[in-house]
Amino acid sequence: MWGWLLAAVLSEVVATTSLRASEGFTRLGWSALVVVGYCSAFYALSQALVRGMPLGQAYAVWCALGIAAIAVLGIVLFGESLSPVQVGGLLLVVVGVVMIELGATHP
């Protein structure tokens, strides 16, 4: 189930990055990648859930990894930047997901 969740995260990151590159759906190839990426992400997420991953846990990991990856790719691919406050926010998201994971394994 973790493999499916990782596939969901990667597909969502590809779709979101392609969304930025599609320039408002004016570039057909990137626009197609957005649609395929999001469809693949939701399919993979559904497979992780069907295989027993708790919804809250799966969604938290999916969101946190996606947010962190998109932030890094925004910097690398699009020359975006993060303020210290934004970096702190990303760290809080990651810490929150770790706490959710720990709570799931150690009630």
Distance CA 32, CA 68 (A): 24
What is the pLDDT at residue 71? 92
Tell me which residue has tokens 């990648």: 33
Percent of the chain with pLDDT over 70: 96
**Span 19-28, pLDDT tens digits:** 999 999 999 9
Residue 45's CB is within 10 A of a number of other CB atoms, namely 22
For the chain, the structural domain boundaries read: 2-105
pLDDT at residue 15 tops 80:
yes
95 burial level (CB within 10 Å; 0-12, 13-18, 19+): exposed
Q: Where are the beta strands (DSSP E) in the chain?
A: none
Phi, psi of 79 (to 5 degrees): 70, 20
pLDDT of residue 99: 85
Tokens (6 digits) for 104? 């799931």
pLDDT tens readout for residues 47-88: 999 999 999 889 888 988 999 999 999 999 999 999 999 999
5 vs 42: CA distance, rounded Å: 10
